[in-house]
Amino acid sequence: MVSMYFRWLVLVMFIAFTVAGNVLVCLAVCTSRRLHRISSCFVVALAVTDLLVGLLVLPLSATLELHNGRWPLGGTVCNIYLSADVTLGTASIFTLLAISVDRYMAISAPLSYTTRLTPARAAAAILVIWIASLTVAFAPIHMGWNTVDFQVQNNDWRMGDEGDKGRTCRYEWNNNYVLLVAFCIYFFPLLLMCGMYHRIFSMAREQVRRIRAATPSGTRSSTCLRGATLREHKATVTLAAVLGVFIVCWLPYIVFFTCMGLRHETEPPQVAHSIVLWLGYFNSALNPILYPALNRDFRHAYGHLLHCRKPHKNVQQNPRKRKKHLF
């Protein structure tokens, strides 16, 4: 009982932290003028995806963990839960791909960036991401494409059936399907993003070299150009770090998922499955920490929202100036 209550407490705290952190990211972008950029739309889209993970997926995953892998809610809810889980994971990686494309456009063609990426195009890209994610997630499991016999899984499972109390809720797969999903949803976008960020950082170094060679140091134009370039480079570094954390968190699960499918494992090891799955969920809680850790604009926005901004040094050191300013 002590172990169960401890697990329950840890899972509740983890879910609450995930939800609160991603709500804070959305509020930071909405309230900070420095973050009012078109590229922030994709950051908010990623935060909303992580927020939905915390609201919709994590409570059901925690229920599964607290029941020692046994699912108490029947087959229909199980299929919807699995589809939602795959939808949000797919939306995350497609949003990261859109972010990498956005960074590539900002670094490769900074002068035409604002005309090429308009709010309407950003919204259309996010809409396409969600339509593709919903299709990839819901169609296979509700059409039976992921099972060995091509029958819809859990179709004969009704909530409350006495003989089904010991059943678990897991994503079934066959060898062809698991390879297709792993390659199309994870490995191919990952290769694209890694290649794109490599190209981005190469161009960024070249841009800095050209700016230093073309503009005399100390001039106003030089300061403006370097400031704008530095902002774009810092944003790129932050988002590249977000991608790196995503890879570290989700790669073990994708490898585990692929190996179990190729070996035709009908009952994967429960402990190993839980570890790699919750490591992937941990990514949704890490992103709200990465933004303020690597980006000063997010730190300022967080400080404003949490009312922990320090008073100005001049106000503390010289109270006479403060009175003169006020009156």
| Per-residue pLDDT reduced to its tens digit, 195-254 | 888 888 888 777 767 766 666 655 555 555 555 556 666 767 777 888 888 899 999 998
The mean per-residue pLDDT over the stretch 100-126 comes to: 88
Dihedral sign (CA 232, 234, 238, 243): positive
Report residue 268's pLDDT band, with 50, 70 and 90 as the boundaries. confident
* 221 compared with 68, residue with greater pLDDT: 68
Structure tokens at 283: 């990514």
Over 90: is that where the pLDDT of 51 sits? Answer: yes
Confidence bin at 42 (pLDDT 50/70/90):
very high
CA-wise closest residue to 167 among 155, 178, 181, 157 = 157
Q: Of the segments 99-103, 148-152, 218-222, which one has the largest average pLDDT value? A: 99-103
**Residue pair 287/242 in contact by the 8 Å Cβ criterion:** yes
Whether 327 has a pLDDT exceeding 50, the answer reads no
- Token pair belonging to 62: 């925690």
Residue for token pair 């161009």: 203
Local confidence band at 308 (pLDDT 50, 70, 90 cut-offs): low
Token pair belonging to 66: 């607290």
Contact indicator for 193, 94 with CB cutoff of 8 Å? no
In three state form, how does the secondary structure of 136-171 look?
A: HHHHHHHHCCCCCCCCCCCCCCCCCCHHHCCCCCCC
Q: What is the greatest pairwise CA distance in the chain?
A: 82
Asked if 206 contacts 267 with a C-beta cutoff of 8 angstroms, the reply is: no
Task: Give the integer Cα–Cα distance in Å for 42 and 103.
Answer: 11
- Report the alpha-carbon distance of residue 287 to residue 26 in Å, rounded: 12
Residue identified by tokens 């990952």 is 190
pLDDT for residue 319 is more than 50: no
C-alpha distances out from residue 302 to 53, 292, 307, Å: 22, 7, 8
Angle value at C-alpha 274, between 192 and 281, nearest 5 degrees = 45
C-beta atoms surrounding 107 within 10 Å: 22
Q: Which two tokens stand for residue 5?
A: 């209550």
